Amino acid sequence: MKLDNITVVSEHKHLQIREITDSGGYHRRVLTPDMTLADDEHQEIKDTAEKEWTDEVKSAWTTLQELNPIPSVDR
Amino acid sequence: MSGIIGGAGSKSGIIGITELPENKTFSGIASISGSGYEEGAFTLSPNTGSFTTVTAQSHYTRIGSYCHCSYSLNNLASSAFATLSGLPFTTRPSGTGYDSVAMSSFMMNGVDTVDATFEVSMYIYNMNIYIYQAVDGAGWAAMTASHMGTGDDIQMAWSYHCQS
């Protein structure tokens, strides 16, 4: 797929990615600061993540999730 | 345009992406004005296990901060998953502040639910999708991999609020 657009959203610096499929339609995905990017990821996405996902941003996102686990009642 | 939107014009009928491009402002339609319309596909990933995605049924439609999704999980592996990731847009708010039952519906084939389950709902939390069962006279119960067997199917549709 061809990279079409990267949008940085929220204080947690999520990367909203829009790509163009072979058939010409849009495909969407979101990358969060806890993720490890694939080796074959678009270079522009890698560069944006490198810029936006500072240690402070990563730590804040990780801490947020650790402090708020899913309220699960498994049966 | 004529008919549903605006005054007389050359176009009428179903409104599609060619008629409502992103960030286009339409006078007299406050709910769409300045916020965009978009359609496309996305890919869900299980935390464990696997399934087959029916591409034609992986679809989102976004109007402003409202996103409606549909997805088909076919041929689940045994012990398929407990959570799904891959929402097309970041939730609003983006973290645990988005703690919401999505307006959702499910059609399941072969999936085991807890006895006395009377409702199945989607719960979106920390950008992950959970499936919860409401059990008569008991606490809610998160559906886990143990409820799914080889060859089971889940078709689902839901809506949630996303970042603009």
Residues ≥6 apart with Cβ < 8 Å to A25: B39, B40, B41
Q: Which residue of chain B is at minimal alpha-carbon distance from A75?
A: B141
CA distance B95 to chain A (A): 7
What pLDDT, on a 0 to 100 scale, did the predictor assign at position B102?
Answer: 67
Give the pLDDT band (50/70/90) at residue A70: low
Whole-model pTM? 0.79
CA distance A48 to chain B (A): 17
pLDDT in tens, B96-118: 655 566 678 999 999 888 888 88
B23: pLDDT strictly greater than 80: no
Q: Is residue A15 one of the residues assigned to a domain?
A: yes
Q: Is residue A7 one of the residues assigned to a domain?
A: yes
Provide ipTM, 2 decimals: 0.86
- Higher-confidence residue: A48 or B12? A48
The mean pLDDT value for B50-78 works out to 87
Min mean pLDDT across A17-21, A50-54, B46-50 is at B46-50
The mean pLDDT value for A64-69 works out to 77
Q: Is residue A64 one of the residues assigned to a domain?
A: no
Q: Which residues of chain A are within 8 Å of residue B140 when distances are taken between CB atoms?
A: 73
Q: Is residue A53 one of the residues assigned to a domain?
A: no
The backbone region for B116, taken as left when phi is positive above 0, alpha when psi lies in -120 to 50, beta otherwise, is left
For residue A8, give its domain range: 1-34
Q: Is residue A16 one of the residues assigned to a domain?
A: yes
Q: Is residue A11 one of the residues assigned to a domain?
A: yes
Compare CB distances from A65 to B86, B126, B139 and report the shortest one's residue.
Answer: B126
Count of structural domains within chain A: 1
Rounded to a whole number, what is the distance in angstroms from the first to the last CA of chain B?
26
Residue B41 to residues B22, B78, B85, B164, Cα–Cα distance (Å): 16, 26, 14, 18
B129: pLDDT strictly greater than 60: yes
Q: Is residue A5 one of the residues assigned to a domain?
A: yes
The mean pLDDT value for B65-73 works out to 92
DSSP string, B32-101: TTTT-EEEEEE--EESSS--EE-GGG-EEEEETTEEEEEEEEESPPSS--SEEE--SS-BSSSSTT-EEE
CA distance A69 to chain B (A): 9
What pLDDT, on a 0 to 100 scale, did the predictor assign at position B30?
Answer: 36
B90: pLDDT strictly greater than 60: yes
Count A/B contacts: CB-CB distance under 8 Å.
79
Give the pLDDT band (50/70/90) at residue B51: confident
- Domain boundary assignment for chain B: 45-54+68-161
Q: Is residue A6 one of the residues assigned to a domain?
A: yes
Q: Which helix (H) or strand (E) holds B29?
A: none
Is A20 in a helix, a strand, or coil? strand
What residue has token string 């999505």?
A: B102
Q: Which residues of chain B are within 8 Å of residue A6 when distances are taken between CB atoms?
A: none
Verify whether the Cβ–Cβ distance B95 to A10 is below 8 Å: yes
